[in-house]
Amino acid sequence: MVTLQSSFHDLLHLFFPHVCAGCGTDVLDQDQLLCLHCLNDLPATNFFNQHDNPVEQVFYGRIKISNAAAGYFFTKDSLLQNLIVQFKYQGNKEIGLYLGKLVGHFLSNSPHYSKIDALVPLPLNPRKEKKRGYNQALELCNGITSVWNKPLLNNNVKRTVFTDTQTHKGRISRWQNMDGIFAINNPEELENKHILLVDDVVTTGATLEACGSEILKIKGTTLSIATLAYTI
């Protein structure tokens, strides 16, 4: 028997087709962005369950972290790259929420992250945020906390100066340029907490290092890092 609800759903689907952002199939749940096939094809790292993983190694000798991981390998011309481009440069916040949920599942299933007290999104350069309309790290955090019950502390860590992306400079000069660009509004809020600093992609780790080192100046803080993707 066809129920009223299912025929309404069929009608909705007819007029507003919901298709997979990866392959275009319409065989997927209404609240999903990708079909199971495309979701399983995303290159997961399994770093959240692995100590001394390549993301942790990025920070060795630079900043004291408890754990660090990225959910997926970032590769060129991939579905993940396409999703990140839509999320960061084409105003598609829904994708950020969805990808954040995926990271949230990795975090909630890992024993290494159970002691996290609060999430802090890496602040975006205010000029960029104004242009984009949102901070992508905050959108990821919103997705993470929708499936992993942890407090989100936004607007406490700030960028203090405007800097351009210095993609053509090496790690050392970049770090020197970033030294002092982050500031904490209310250090008491972070005192004695294990903070998870969140960003979209980790490459050289320079920005996360600069921001994390400010957080570690606060009394009793412990730092871990989580990103959506890792670029080799």
Residues forming contacts to Zn ion in the complex (CB under 5 A) are 20, 22-23, 35, 38
Q: Which two tokens stand for residue 195?
A: 């903070």
Quick one: 23 or 44, whose CB is closer to Zn ion? 23
Q: Which residues sit opposite 68 in a β-bridge?
A: 225
Shortest spacing between CB 41 and Zn ion, in angstroms: 8
Q: Which of 26, 34, 33 is CA-nearest to residue 9? A: 26
Shortest Å distance, C-beta 32 to Zn ion: 10
Smallest separation (angstroms) from Zn ion to the CB of 12: 20
Please report which helix (H) or strand (E) contains residue 174, including its range.
helix 171-178
Nearer to Zn ion, 23 or 147 (CB): 23
Q: Which is nearer to Zn ion, 20 or 215 (CB)?
A: 20
Reference 124, options 113, 136, 116; nearest CA is 136
Nearer to Zn ion, 11 or 27 (CB): 27
Show Cβ contacts of residue 199 under 8 Å, excluding neighbours closer than 6 positions: 121, 122, 137, 140, 207, 208, 225, 227, 228
Longest dimension (CA), the chain: 69
The strand order across the sheet containing 67-74 reads 67-74, 222-231, 194-202, 118-121
> Is 35 or 157 the residue whose CB approaches Zn ion more closely?
35
- Minimal distance, residue 28 CB to Zn ion, in Å: 7
Among left, alpha and beta (phi > 0; psi -120 to 50; other), residue 213 is alpha
Q: How far is the CB of 107 from Zn ion (least distance, A)?
A: 24
Report which DSSP code applies to 116.
-
For Zn ion, the closer of residues 55 and 95 by Cβ is: 95
The distance of closest approach from Cβ of residue 79 to Zn ion in the complex, given in angstroms and rounded to an integer, is 8
